[in-house]
Amino acid sequence: MLESFDEPIPITRPLLPNLQNVNKRMSEIWDSKWVTNNGQQQRDLQEKLKDYLAVEHLSLFTNGTMALLLGLKSLNLTGEVITTPFTFPATLQALDWNGLTPVFCDIEPNTLTIDSSKIEALITEKTSAILGVHVFGNPCDVLKIQEIADRHGLKVIYDGAHAFGSEIKGNPVGHYGDMTMFSFHATKLFNTVEGGALVFKDRRLAAKLNLLKNFGIADQEEVVLSGLNAKMNEIQAAIGLETLKLIDEEREKRHTVKKVYERQLANVPGIRLLTHLENKKSSYQYFVIEIDERTFGRTRDWLQEKLQQHNVFARKYFYPLCSDFTWYKHLVSAQPRNLPQAQKTVKEVLAMPYYGELELASVVRICNIIKSHHVTTSGIAL
C-alpha cells in the first residue's frame, strides 16, 4: 500500500519572486505615488516582454480574459467565429461578450488543438475569424490555419494563455495570426498575479487597444469609443518585472520534472504522454496525460479520485467541453456527434501536478500511485 502525501500536492504553485526585490519596487511605486494608468513599471514590463517574446507590438491588460475580449473587439469582428470546444470557459466568454457566435470545430488527437482539416467545411458567409487555442502550450497548426484564413479573408486570433515561450520551428508562437493573447494569472509560468497581454501584427491597433482598455478616453475633452477598464496596474507590473528574471530557471526545473514523469510513465499500458511536439518547443505550462480506459483498466475519473485519496490534486483540464454549456446546446456545431475527438479527449485527459519546486522524489511517488492502480487485462493490479 502506497502512503499518502502529508501535505496536498496541487496542480501548480505560483512562481513568486524574491520578496525583498518586490519590496524595493513597491518603495519606488510608493515614492512616485503613481499606482496605475500607464505607469513606469507597466511601461518597463511592456518593453521587457517585447524583447522576451521577440515581438514588435504588445499591450498589457489586467487579465487574459479582458485582453482577449478587447482584442476581438478591436478587430471589428461580426457574425460567426470558428473555434475549439476544448478550452477554458474564458475563450468562449470573450466571444459571447462581443456578441459573436461560436462555431465549434473538432480537435486533433495529438496536440488537442483545433483540427485544421475540419475548419474549411464550417466557413459560411457569416464567418469573420478563426480563434485557435494553443492548449497546454501546444501550438495550433498555424501555417494551415493562415492559409485557410487568407483564402477566405478571415482574421486569425490565438488564445495563447498557456503558450508563453512556446515556439514553432524556432519562431515564437506570437508571430502567427493577427493577434495572440497570453495570460499572466498566478497559475501561469510567467505571472503578474492577475494579468495578460496581447501581441499583434498591425501597429495601428496599439492606439485602439489603449483606448479600449481605458474607457475609450482620448483626452479630458473626448471619449471616442465604448471601452472598459482593463489596465494593468503598477503592482502587477512590478511583480511581473521580478518574476520575469526567474523564468528561464523555472523552465529548466520544469524540464527536469517532465523528464522524470516521462521516464516513470513511459511504459505504463493505457497512459499516453502528451508531451512530444515535433518541431515545436513547449511552454512547460502543463504536464498532461491521457488515460485509455480499455488498456489502463480504469477510467480517468477513477484515477483522479485515487490520486486525490493520496493527497495529489491532478485536474480535469478542461472539463466540461465548452460546447456542452447549456447556452450553446442549440448550435448544430455543438452537437456531440460533430465533435467526436473532443468528446473522447474530454473524458481521458488529466493535468498532473507540475511546477519547478515539485520534488523529483514526489514525482516518482505520484507515478508509483498511477502504476500501482493500473490493472492488467487479467484484472490484477500491478
- Residues forming contacts to ligand T4K in the complex (CB under 6 A) are 10-14, 63-65, 87-88, 90-91, 133, 159, 161, 183, 185-187, 196, 313, 317
Q: Kindly report the backbone phi and psi dihedral angles of residue 350, in degrees, each rounded to the nearest multiple of 5, phi listed first.
A: -135, 125
DSSP 8-state symbol, 59: E
**Exposed e or buried b for every residue in 201-219, given b needs 16+ CB within 10 A?**
beeebeebbbbbbbebeee
Smallest gap from residue 59 Cβ to ligand T4K (A): 14
Closer residue to ligand T4K, CB minimum distance, 120 or 301: 301
Smallest gap from residue 71 Cβ to ligand T4K (A): 12
Whole-angstrom CA distances from 322 to 21, 78, 101, 104, 106 are 41, 20, 13, 9, 12
Contact at 8 Å (CB) between 114 and 161?
Answer: no
Smallest gap from residue 126 Cβ to ligand T4K (A): 24
- Sign of the CA dihedral with 379 first, then 268, 348, and 352 last: positive
Output the CA angle 309-315-320, nearest 5 degrees.
120
**In whole angstroms, what is the distance from residue 52 CA to residue 58 CA?**
11
Closer residue to ligand T4K, CB minimum distance, 9 or 268: 9
Q: Nearest to ligand T4K by Cβ — which residue?
A: 64
Smallest gap from residue 252 Cβ to ligand T4K (A): 21
Contact at 8 Å (CB) between 164 and 189?
Answer: yes
Closer residue to ligand T4K, CB minimum distance, 157 or 268: 157
Helices (H) and strands (E) in the chain, counts: 12, 15
Smallest gap from residue 333 Cβ to ligand T4K (A): 19
Which contacts (CB < 8 Å, 24+ apart) does range 93-102 have? Answer: 93/65, 93/69, 94/65, 94/68, 94/69, 94/159, 95/131, 96/327, 97/69, 98/69, 98/72, 98/73, 100/72, 100/128, 101/126, 101/331, 102/131, 102/322, 102/328, 102/331, 102/333
Closer residue to ligand T4K, CB minimum distance, 183 or 304: 183
Contact at 8 Å (CB) between 88 and 64?
Answer: no
Place of cell 477513477: 302
Closer residue to ligand T4K, CB minimum distance, 13 or 118: 13
Closer residue to ligand T4K, CB minimum distance, 184 or 296: 184
Smallest gap from residue 16 Cβ to ligand T4K (A): 9
Closer residue to ligand T4K, CB minimum distance, 63 or 127: 63
Closer residue to ligand T4K, CB minimum distance, 306 or 371: 306
Smallest gap from residue 313 Cβ to ligand T4K (A): 6
Smallest gap from residue 113 Cβ to ligand T4K (A): 11
